[in-house]
Amino acid sequence: MATYKIDAAHSDITFKVKHLMISTVTGSFGKFDATLVADNDDFTDAKISFEADVDSINTNNEQRDGHLKSEDFFAAGQYPKITFVSTNVVKKGDGDYAVTGDFTVRGVTKSITLDVEHAGTVVDPYGQTKAGFEATGKINRKDFGLNWSAVTEAGGIVVSDEVKLHLNVQLIKQA
């Protein structure tokens, strides 16, 4: 059985959401952790657990970050972590997977499926085995109690309900 831990220095956890339905705001989490455990080299039996620290959210706007941490959105004081625990991994093709799991935001857990691409596994110059993955998916923020909304004077929506998730991760095989 092989255990891999996330290499935070070589990983990005980001999300995108439409603002005023004409532009996209990108955010990220600066503090996160993940573990993957698998017997099979092709990761078809992988068990994955992930968590992000809500307080580490960054959209390059301090005022917006503060609003996202507030009761209107993530309620970081009461719900400090966003988590994902895999329940099923399906190999769709060479290096392509559908990873389903329990995604928890603000105390609400829903099953989501991420499209995951295994970019490869290599041994780095220091002798460490590293595996790279890119995962994408979408959620409806309101499914997780992120209900804050506002409307422009013309009746337009300020923040879309759909949130796109994008994770680029490098994992280090543990000795």
> For position 168, what pLDDT does the model report?
97
Q: How far apart are CA 72 and CA 81, in angstroms?
A: 16
Beta-bridged to residue 97, according to DSSP, are: 91, 116
Distances (CA, A) of 113 to 89, 91, 131, 146: 9, 13, 20, 19
Cα distance between residue 105 and residue 1, in whole Å: 30
Q: pLDDT below 50 — which residues of the chain? A: none
Across all residues in the chain, what is the average pLDDT? Answer: 92
* CB atoms closer than 10 angstroms to residue 151: 9
32-69 pLDDT, tens digit each: 999 999 999 899 999 999 999 999 999 999 998 998 99
Burial of 150 by CB count in 10 Å (0-12 exposed, 13-18 middle, 19+ buried)? exposed
- Measured distance CA(136)–CA(113) in Å, rounded: 9
pLDDT value, residue 146: 83
Domains and CATH numbers, the chain: 2-173 (2.40.128.110)
pTM of the model as a whole: 0.92
